[in-house]
């Protein structure tokens, strides 16, 4: 399964997902109101300590951090050049702290645990017609079909190259159409396997099959 989760049994791993998410919300918000460099630095040290406790391999932590690093450097430089350097340091440490914390949750929490928590948090959204129990199904479907569509994409590109079309973005429209066609078959398969059978009935005749 596509996941950045690093298996482990540390206290950080065992901590329930909702506690970790709540901690991030509280600490993340607090960090935006803190201006004292020493306090922010101490916070960052605590987060780094938590990585050590969770025994996260440095390579895994770096891979995630690298994704935001370029933007982080740009923001800090812009702040320093347009404003002043102490504030730039403040901004840099604050971002590292918040992002480091968020990444730690990503690295130590299974997707299933997060999805369960999200479904529970989303329960009040039922009022707006959102079906929280569908969230897990949708996520599973995406994971199931990423390799299928990746194979499809390779096929379309091959077909283009076989006909001497230069590689570029010309394969996109046919790939999109193939993906949409797949939805007919998948929709039927979901229907016969009981998805939607508990939905409130629609008006007769409101449904036109396409």
Partner 1 sequence: MIELRRVSFAYPQRPVLTEVSAVLAEQRIGIVGGNGSGKSTLARLINGLVRPTGGQVLVDGLDTHRDLKQVRRRVGFVFQDPDLQIVMPTVAEDLAFSLRPRKLPADQVRQRVEQTLAAYGLQEHADHPAHLLSGGQKQLLALAAVLITEPAIMVLDEPTTLLDLRNRRAVMRVVAGLPQQVVLVTHDLDVLADFDRVLVIDEGRIVADDTPGPALAAYRRLAEV
Partner 2 sequence: MRPKDIALIALFTALMCVLGLTPRIQLPLLPAPFTAQTLGVILAGGILGARRGFASMALFVLLVAIGAPVLVGGVGGLGMILGPTGGFIIAYPFGALVTGLLIERWWPKLNYLTAFLAGFIGGALVLYVIGQPWLITVSAKVSLADGWWSWIVYLPGDLIKTAIAAGIIVTVKKAYPLITPRRTDATPAAA
Positions 11 through 30 that interact with partner 2 (CB under 8 A): 24, 28
Structure tokens at 126: 């039922």
User: In the window 69-88, what residues touch partner 2 (CB under 8 A)?
Assistant: 71-72, 74-75, 78-79, 82-83, 87
Q: How far is the CB of 152 from partner 2 (least distance, A)?
A: 8
Among 162, 169, 192, 206, binds partner 1 (CB under 8 A): 192
**Residues 127-156 within binding reach of partner 1 (CB under 8 A):** 140-141, 143-144, 147-148
* Secondary structure string (H, E, C) spanning the chain: CCCCCCCCCCHHHHCCHHHHHHHHHHHHHHHHHCCCHHHHHHHHHHHHHHHHHCCCCHHHHHHHHHHHHHHHHHHHHHHHHHCCHHHHHHHHHHHHHHHHHHHHHHHHCCHHHHHHHHHHHCHHHHHHCCCCHHHHHHHHHHHHHHHHHHHHHHHHHHHHHHCCCCCCCCCHHHHHHHHHHHHHHHHHHHHHCCCCCCCCCCCCCCCCCC
Nearer to partner 1, 169 or 180 (CB): 180
54 vs 91, which CB is nearer to partner 2? 91
Q: Is 47 in the site for partner 2 (CB under 8 A)?
A: no
* 180 forms part of the interface with partner 2 (CB under 8 A): yes
Residue 90 and residue 35 in contact, taking contact as beta carbons nearer than 8 Å: yes
Q: Which does 198 bind (CB under 5 to 8 A by kind): partner 1, partner 2, none?
A: partner 1
Under the criterion CB under 8 A, does residue 165 sit at the interface with partner 2? no
Interacting partner of 18 out of partner 1, partner 2, none (Cβ under 5 to 8 A depending on kind): none
Residue 185 sits in the site that holds partner 1 (CB under 8 A): yes
Nearer to partner 1, 59 or 208 (CB): 208
Note whether 132 and 122 are within 8 A (CB): yes
Q: Which stretch binds partner 2 (CB under 8 A): 39-47, 48-56, 128-136, 158-166?
A: 128-136
């Amino acid at each position: 399964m596509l996941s950045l989760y690093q298996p482990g049994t540390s206290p950080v791993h065992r901590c329930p997902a909702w506690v970790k998410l709540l901690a991030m919300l509280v600490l993340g918000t607090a960090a935006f109101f803190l201006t004292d460099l020493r306090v922010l630095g101490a916070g960052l040290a605590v987060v780094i300590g938590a990585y050590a406790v969770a025994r996260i391999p440095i390579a895994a932590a770096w891979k995630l951090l690298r994704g935001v690093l370029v933007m982080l450097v740009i923001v800090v430089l812009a702040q320093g050049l347009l404003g002043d350097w102490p504030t730039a340091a403040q901004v840099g440490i604050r971002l590292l702290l918040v992002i480091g914390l968020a990444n730690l949750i990503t690295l130590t929490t299974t997707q299933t645990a997060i999805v369960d928590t999200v479904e529970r948090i989303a329960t009040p959204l039922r009022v707006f017609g959102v079906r929280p129990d569908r969230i897990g199904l949708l996520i599973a479907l995406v994971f199931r079909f990423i390799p299928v569509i990746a194979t499809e994409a390779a096929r379309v590109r091959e077909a283009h190259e076989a006909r001497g079309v230069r590689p570029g973005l010309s394969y996109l429209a046919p790939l999109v159409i193939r993906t949409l066609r797949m939805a007919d078959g998948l929709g039927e398969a979901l229907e016969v396997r009981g998805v939607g059978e508990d939905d409130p009935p629609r008006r007769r005749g409101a449904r036109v099959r396409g």
